[in-house]
Each structure stands twice: as C-alpha cells, then as structure tokens.
Structure 1
Amino acid sequence: MTLAERLPLPSKLGLLAALGSGALLGGAYYFQYVMGLSPCEMCYWQRYPHMVAIIVGLLALASFAWPRLALVFMLTAITALIVTAGIGVFHVGVEYHWWAGPQACSGNVPKGLTPEQLKKYLFGAKMVRCDETAWAMWGISMAGWNAILSGALAFVLASGVASWVRERR
C-alpha cells in the first residue's frame, strides 16, 4: 500500500486544494511578472484567499494522523475558495459596469473636492483600473476565470468532503 493510499480523504483533498490554488495563484503571478499585466486592487483581493487555501490545504495534508482536524482545514480551504470566487464574480460585475467598484481603482473622482484636494487625489491615484479587463480568453476575464475555476475546485472539494463524512456515519 502506497503512502497516498494510506492517507485519509481529507488529507488527499488538502493536497488538491493546495495544488489547485497554487496553480491559480501561479497563473496570476505569471500574468503579472512574465506577461507584464499589473494587477488592480481587486486582483490582489482575489489572491489572498488562495494563499489561505494553500496553507490550510497543506495543513490538512500534514494532519493525516488526525482526519477530523484535516477535515476542519479542508472546510477552511473550501471557504477560502468560495470567498475568492465571490470576489471574482464581484470583479466581473465591476468590469462589465453592472455595479460600481471600489473608489480606489474604478476611476470615479469624488465630488466636491477643492482644487488642491483634487490634485492630491489625482496624483495619488493608482493607474491600474478594476473596471477595465486587462486580458480575456473566450470573452471571460481573469477575474471570471478565477471565479469559475475556484468555484469548481470548491465544489469538487466539498463533494469529496461530503462523501467522506457520509462514509463515517
């Protein structure tokens, strides 16, 4: 029996969570550092839950001797993936102008500023906008792909956890 066969399902799923979020985060870094696409503020927001999913996924893997603890880590990873998928959906809505994005990266200048305040605001404004799509494949932006792939990974992990819990009853 190999080591992988001896691992409880929550630990195996932890490895999948870490690898899946690692791949998505790696893709974001590839676009940033290799392709030269600077991330906007909301792009950064989508990265943090992936970092959490990687860490707790690895903790689930390391908790193979305590499957219930691994299960807790897996539930945390699933939650992180749902959060990043939700942020991705929100970001897509900002890109399509369905709703307003954060003031810091949507290009809306606050009303009622004095000339000095306006100058300070404009010179301090970030140049990467959240409401413009920097890259898309098949009409889906990076934020959209993050939402789709993170949601799918969360679904697969949740299905695995559910089947493991059912087997324990």
Structure 2
Amino acid sequence: MTRTPLAHAFASPRRVIALVGLASLALIAGAWFFELVMLLRPCKLCLEQRVPHYAAIGLAAVALLLARSPRSQLVALAGLALLMAWSTGLGIYHSGVEWGWFAGPSDCGGAAAPVAAGMQDFMNQLQTTRVVSCTEAAWRFLGLSLAGWNALASLALLVAALVGLKSALRVAGGSPA
C-alpha cells in the first residue's frame, strides 16, 4: 500500500514534533511581523496567545534533541497536544471577545508603558499612549482576525499532534505503524 506524502509526514512521531515546533515558530514570526513591520500593537490577549507557541517551540526543540525512545516521544506529543489545545482555546476566547460573544478581561490594555520620570513625563505619556483594546480586531482577512487565524492554526496543530500521538502509541505499544 502506497502512502500519500501527508500520511508519510505523520507516520513518524519525530516528524510531527518537528512540524508542530516549526509551525509554532512560523506563527510567532508572523505575530512579530504584524507587530514590528505592520505596527499592529498587541493587546493583552494577543500576547497571552503567544505563550503556548513559545512553549511548543521549546518543547519541540528539547524533544527533537533528547526524545529518542517511543515513550519520550509520546510524552512530548502529549505535551504539544495540550499546548495546542490551550492555544486553540485562547484563540477562540479572544475571537469571541472581538465579536462580543464573551466579556474580555477588565485589564486588557496592551503592554505596560515605561515608568515616568516626573509629573510632566507622566502627563505626556497619558496623551501619547494608545491603549490597545482586546475587543477590537486590528486586522482581518477573510472575515477572521489574527486571533481567529491563530485558533484555526492551533486547531490544525492540535489535530497533527493527536495523529502523531496515535502513531507514537502504536510504536510504543509494539504494534506495526
């Protein structure tokens, strides 16, 4: 039986670990691109959505370096699946806040401003600081905000991690893949 290229990619737990890690790296690079090049300032929820991807990059890197046994790859894939489930949930929550389906956090105002040196500096900061609201999507493509796209990408990575987990379970259990 001939495998499709997609089935071949998911047949190896190490490939799935690499895929999830590299995709998370690409998502973080995209977030930094929108922030630094497109000058879209992230809100508090935008920054929180990056955390599972940072963790996934680290976990995938460590797993690719150290996880040689099927059991250790199983643990790594389970961890990646949990991180992508967390990321999917954060993306859905933030999208729901933007659409008005959920109440956002009361302290959603973006990154903290630098400490003012004096009263005049403080007054200047008040006039020039733009608070980034979690309820307003700064950019949309095909009707979805960046939070929505993160939710979809994270869901796809969750599915990939679960497929890799299934493959790793077969290998760890001793049955043929």
TM-score normalised per structure 1: 0.80
Counterpart Cα distance in 2 of 1:67 and 1:55: 19
Structure 2, unmatched stretches of 5+, are: 1-7, 110-125
Higher RCO (Cα < 8 Å, 6 or more apart): 2
Equivalent pairs counted in the alignment come to 146
Q: Quick one: which of 154, 158, 170 aligns to 1:154? A: 158
Does the 8 Å CA contact 1:11/1:63 hold for their aligned counterparts? no
Mapping of residues 1-150 of structure 1, within 5 Å: 9-105=12-108, 127-150=131-154
Task: Measure how far apart 1:45 and its partner are.
Answer: 0.6
Counterpart Cα distance in 1 of 2:145 and 2:61: 29
Does the 8 Å CA contact 2:21/2:60 hold for their aligned counterparts? yes
Greater Cα offset, 12-21 or 88-97: 12-21
Does the 8 Å CA contact 1:31/1:37 hold for their aligned counterparts? yes
Runs of 4+ off more than 3 Å:
none
Task: Measure how far apart 1:75 and its partner are.
Answer: 1.0
Does the 8 Å CA contact 2:74/2:168 hold for their aligned counterparts? no
Structure 1, unmatched stretches of 5+, are: 107-122
Q: 3-state SS of the aligned residue for 2:108?
A: helix
* Alpha-carbon spacing, 1:95–1:101, altered in 2? closer, same or farther (3 Å): same
Deviations for 1:3-24, whole angstroms, at most 9, x for unmatched residues? xx9xx92222211111010011
Percent identity for Structure 1 against Structure 2: 38
Counterpart Cα distance in 2 of 1:160 and 1:15: 11
TM-score normalised per structure 2: 0.76
Does the 8 Å CA contact 2:12/2:164 hold for their aligned counterparts? yes
Deviations for 1:86-128, whole angstroms, at most 9, x for unmatched residues? 000000110011121000127xxxxxxxxxxxxxxxx6x9700
| One-letter amino acid of the counterpart of residue 148, structure 1 | L
**What CA RMSD, in Å, does the superposition of the two structures yield over aligned residues?**
2.0
